[in-house]
Structure 1
Amino acid sequence: MLRSLIPSFVADAIWPEHRQSWKLHPTSYLDGLRGIASVVVFICHYTEENHPSLIPSYGLNPDYSPSSWIQLPFVRIIFSGRPMVHIFFVISGFVLSYKPVKSIHSRNLDRCFSILSSSAFRRPIRLFGPCVVSTFLIMLMIQCGWLRTPLPTLTEQFWAWKNAVFHSITWPWAWDYDLRPGYDVHLWTIPIEFAHSMLLFMVILVFSRVRQLVRQSAVLCLMVYFLCCGKWAAFEFITGLFLAECHLLQGTHSKTWESSETLSSYVPPKPLLGTIAWTTLHLTIIATAVFVGGWPNFGAEETPGIRYFHETTPEPFASMDPLAPQKLWFALGASLTVWSCGEVRFIRRFLEGPLAQYCGRVSYALYIVHGPVLEIFQGFVVGHTWLPSQGEPDGMDYLPAMPATGVKALVGGESPMQRTFAWLAGLFILAPVVIWAADVFWRAVDNPMIVLGRKIEMLCLDDVDEYRPRQGFALAG
């Protein structure tokens, strides 16, 4: 029981004989990248909800107060969560495509169809299962008075939770629209993830039997088509498919399903520009993506550098909605980042390192639990600065002055240095709590949900090649 309640890395240090070994695979760096992106999303929401003065671009604070150094270009990527969501989607397209495309290259279409069928069957359990559990726990905490204002009865609270799950979390019909789910608004990406996973599986199935050149040309055309339609999420998932096939073409791969017989091998060509120039190119791409990733939530038309991207945004993204221009550039930046991170050796080694790999393992759990954990603890940990009274003393809307509380009471919030230190101190206190909750949720809910999906699939599976009783059940007819 103790082992299950403490973080896994602490438990491994106490009981090393029970330590689970983790092996790297060809796409492990993507797990590390997804883990780092999840941490940035957590820092983003922590910053937006507790330190709004740090959100504007450097020098553009609305009250003309001095800006903090963490608002500078490039540096502000550490709390820019929106581009990380686009990285999630490109990685999902890559990872979900890797095995079926690998089987296509091995000339094993039966295996490809089996993988697609299995992935499509288990995808809703994998995505929705942990979210249903987490929002149900949030519903109970609300009813207990730990979060927000509860509804009068548990029955009303339950039906409100059911409606939120059905219409906002497991609702795939809105495609790339932000449904802002009740009980955890951060889960708005989950129905988008599910709908475009199904789209990805269909595209792989459609082009599984065609020649490689035709398939890659068609996928490129689809990528352009989705951008012309303003469908940024569809573009990102299909870009993941394209990158997965390029990854397979660059390395030596073999038929590993039934035997170790090498079916084909491909020696990647040397970079045309030379190793140093090629690395410099990818570092330039990543640096540009990091700069664009610092796109502010508002005031982009006034931000140096970002202003250029904002003004040159083509249609339909230029006029869809105020946030659409950033979605185009985030989509392009995420696609290039996923590609370049696999091509720069020291970045790939870092993403395959123990820290990034651990973040990758708990990334989905971290994404799910960080919202409610912050909502519970950030109020009294971070607190607020001194608030003056509002309204007339005899008026109905009068609010008395409130003394400073939490970290902001200890540090203050007048100068940029005080605001930055308060940001760091609150993050230093809250981050271990969020990581701890994510680690427990990962082992108690996320991993068991993966196992449950496999068990349900095996229970429902109809193997037409084996007409014999299995597990005590006789075949009828």
Structure 2
Amino acid sequence: MSNNRQNVTWVEGVRGVASFWVVVTHLCRAWDYSLWSPRDTADATPQLLQLPFLRLPWQGRIGVTMFAFLTGYVCAIKPLRQAKSGNIPAALTTLGKSAFRRPPRLIMPATIAMFIAWLFAQIGAFEVAHLSDSHWFRRSVPIDIGGLGTEIPRLIRNFQSAWSGGNNEYDDHQWALLPLLQGAFLIYVLLFATVFMKFRMRLFTCCVLFLWYWMRTSPEKETFECQFLYGVILCDLGSEKGFRDFVNSHPKARRTVLTTLIVLGWYAACFPGEHWEWALWSRQLETIGHFLIPKGSSNYPKRFTAIGWDMIVTGIWLSPTLQNLFSNKIFMWVGRNSFAVYLTHGTVLKVGLARLIYGWSTKPYWVEQPPAEGEGEAIVHYIPRSSNWFVWALAIPTFFVVEYYIAHLWTTYVDSYCAKATKWLEDVMFEKDEDEKHGASAMA
């Protein structure tokens, strides 16, 4: 940590890792769902990627948890910095304008991505995925595509559903955007309510709220609300010069603590999503969880993901070396395109990569009817995935190259357009402050 100001650029790099892990997770969902379990069956030998530590990127869950934490951290940086410098009016202005910008900056690009997926659905681009042997593909692509008379109202209904807690048929990966938007406003309200508080009292308030959400057994509280608050807590702590000086004055202890946190956190976050009773290590974690997780909690795997991630990110936050690593050009570039990757990868995966793995024709799909009525059920023969390892070795890297190139174009053009549109809305709807009025007069 810098003695003058905490390093915050690492957040962008970690965001890039989160988006990459989300994509990898969906690849595994499509073609190797067994990685969600600690082994294929109760008596089987674990696969290499089912083992602790190695399984984390592939088994899902942690990417969205990371996004939630980063939302809390990023939303708190500027207003807390202004408040601690004594400029409370500027902090309140930042909160007000940030709250205004957040919805269009999320909703506009997400709607464009959904509309593009809708266009692909109209020309049958999801048909190969729909008829493939991948169960996840079949349940996550739009089906029963009709004429424009039914599809345009369906598009409108899906837009409404996506931002009111329902499912998005054209791009189901957007399910997390509404909780992330709501979480941003949780942070804005929290900071508005505590901006006049002393540092320790604000920290105490955030910790009490964190524990309150943690003790609630409603779904996703550990994934969203707890992570939003933990992001604010670490941001607030990291911006305290006295705390940074204390940490920097004990380098050996700091390295010991951060290494322990990262190792134990990585291990905890590996808790299997399914069949954790099949392995000794996951049964041991479950036993520990009885002391950490409130009784009646609806999702043990997500609770362990939250515990593990909070330990990991605390270790990163304490490590100047890791912060510098995540601040390098490669991680920063990936992080800058992370939102675009999140929005576009589903369509690229189900339209482009599906054809590289299954081919372009739907003819291999056929239904075998029973010999006579009442003599059994029809047998569905889905399009089989390629059995040629070379096809996979070529298709997966090609997918990532194409995906990140599309994401770069999206960030450069679509996202910048949405930013300009948001700025125009802000100029239209907000009163200009005195500096802006004088600046405008001077330019005139």
TM bin, normalised by shorter chain, reads 0.7 to 0.9
Letter of the 1:157 counterpart: E
Q: 1:208 to 1:388 in 2, by over 3 A?
A: closer
Match of 1:346 in 2: 321
Match of 2:146 in 1: 152
Match of 2:213 in 1: 226
Match of 2:233 in 1: 242
Moved more, 310-319 or 274-283: 310-319
Match of 2:140 in 1: none
Q: 1:362 to 1:106 in 2, by over 3 A?
A: same
String of CA shifts for 1:28-48, please: whole Å, max 9, x gaps. Answer: 101100101110110110111
Letter of the 2:179 counterpart: I
Question: 2:77·2:235 contact (CA, 8 Å) conserved in 1?
Answer: yes
Percent identity for Structure 1 against Structure 2: 19
Question: 2:66·2:309 contact (CA, 8 Å) conserved in 1?
Answer: yes
Structure 2 matches for 1:367-406, cutoff 5 A?
367-383=342-358, 394=371, 397-399=377-379, 405-406=385-386
Match of 1:137 in 2: 116
Deviation at 1:73, TM superposition (A): 1.2
Letter of the 2:338 counterpart: S
For residue 145 of structure 2, give the secondary structure of its aligned residue in structure 1: coil
Question: 1:240·1:335 contact (CA, 8 Å) conserved in 2?
Answer: no
Q: 1:275 to 1:463 in 2, by over 3 A?
A: same
Moved more, 46-55 or 180-189: 46-55
- Of 12, 16, 26, which aligns to 1:45? 26
Question: 1:98·1:244 contact (CA, 8 Å) conserved in 2?
Answer: yes
Question: 1:90·1:338 contact (CA, 8 Å) conserved in 2?
Answer: no
Q: 1:403 to 1:395 in 2, by over 3 A?
A: farther
Runs of 4+ in structure 1 over 4 Å off: 63-67, 314-318, 387-393, 395-405, 421-426, 464-472
- Of 181, 187, 202, which aligns to 1:215? 202
Unpaired runs of 5+ in structure 1?
A: 1-23, 252-265, 412-420, 473-477
Deviation at 1:426, TM superposition (A): 4.4
Match of 2:263 in 1: 287
- Of 245, 255, 261, which aligns to 1:268? 245
Deviation at 1:352, TM superposition (A): 0.9
**2: CA distance between counterparts of 1:423 and 1:439?**
24
**2: CA distance between counterparts of 1:45 and 1:391?**
30
Unpaired runs of 5+ in structure 2?
A: 128-142
Q: 1:426 to 1:317 in 2, by over 3 A?
A: farther
**2: CA distance between counterparts of 1:84 and 1:48?**
14
Structure 2 matches for 1:8-87, cutoff 5 A?
26-57=7-38, 60-62=39-41, 67-87=46-66
Question: 2:28·2:35 contact (CA, 8 Å) conserved in 1?
Answer: yes
Structure 2 matches for 1:163-182, cutoff 5 A?
163-168=157-162, 170-171=163-164, 179-182=166-169
**2: CA distance between counterparts of 1:36 and 1:382?**
25
Match of 1:16 in 2: none
Structure 2 matches for 1:437-476, cutoff 5 A?
437-463=406-432, 465=434
**2: CA distance between counterparts of 1:94 and 1:199?**
12
Q: 1:466 to 1:362 in 2, by over 3 A?
A: closer
Deviation at 1:64, TM superposition (A): 6.2
TM-score, normalization by structure 1: 0.78
For residue 271 of structure 2, give the secondary structure of its aligned residue in structure 1: coil
Structure 1 residue 429 and structure 2 residue 405: aligned? Answer: no
**2: CA distance between counterparts of 1:280 and 1:345?**
14
String of CA shifts for 1:140-167, please: whole Å, max 9, x gaps. Answer: 1111111244532113112112111112
String of CA shifts for 1:345-386, please: whole Å, max 9, x gaps. Answer: 3322221112111110000000111111110123332349xx
Structure 2 matches for 1:68-107, cutoff 5 A?
68-107=47-86
For residue 240 of structure 2, give the secondary structure of its aligned residue in structure 1: helix
Match of 2:131 in 1: none
Highest RCO, 1 vs 2 (Cα 8 Å, sep ≥ 6): 2
Deviation at 1:313, TM superposition (A): 3.7
Moved more, 207-216 or 342-351: 342-351
Letter of the 2:147 counterpart: T
String of CA shifts for 1:327-353, please: whole Å, max 9, x gaps. Answer: 222222222322221222332222111
**2: CA distance between counterparts of 1:403 and 1:336?**
43
Match of 1:331 in 2: 306
Question: 2:358·2:384 contact (CA, 8 Å) conserved in 1?
Answer: yes
**2: CA distance between counterparts of 1:283 and 1:469?**
53
**2: CA distance between counterparts of 1:191 and 1:36?**
21
Question: 1:29·1:348 contact (CA, 8 Å) conserved in 2?
Answer: yes
Q: 1:161 to 1:30 in 2, by over 3 A?
A: same
Question: 1:139·1:158 contact (CA, 8 Å) conserved in 2?
Answer: no
- Of 182, 199, 224, which aligns to 2:186? 199
Question: 1:142·1:150 contact (CA, 8 Å) conserved in 2?
Answer: no
For residue 305 of structure 1, give the secondary structure of its aligned residue in structure 2: helix
Question: 2:102·2:181 contact (CA, 8 Å) conserved in 1?
Answer: yes
Letter of the 1:194 counterpart: L
Match of 1:362 in 2: 337
TM-score, normalization by structure 2: 0.83
Match of 2:276 in 1: 300
Question: 1:29·1:352 contact (CA, 8 Å) conserved in 2?
Answer: yes
- Of 156, 159, 162, which aligns to 1:162? 156
For residue 342 of structure 1, give the secondary structure of its aligned residue in structure 2: helix
Match of 2:388 in 1: 410
**2: CA distance between counterparts of 1:34 and 1:461?**
31
For residue 76 of structure 1, give the secondary structure of its aligned residue in structure 2: coil
Deviation at 1:108, TM superposition (A): 0.5
**2: CA distance between counterparts of 1:345 and 1:469?**
42
Deviation at 1:245, TM superposition (A): 0.8
**1: CA distance between counterparts of 2:268 and 2:95?**
35
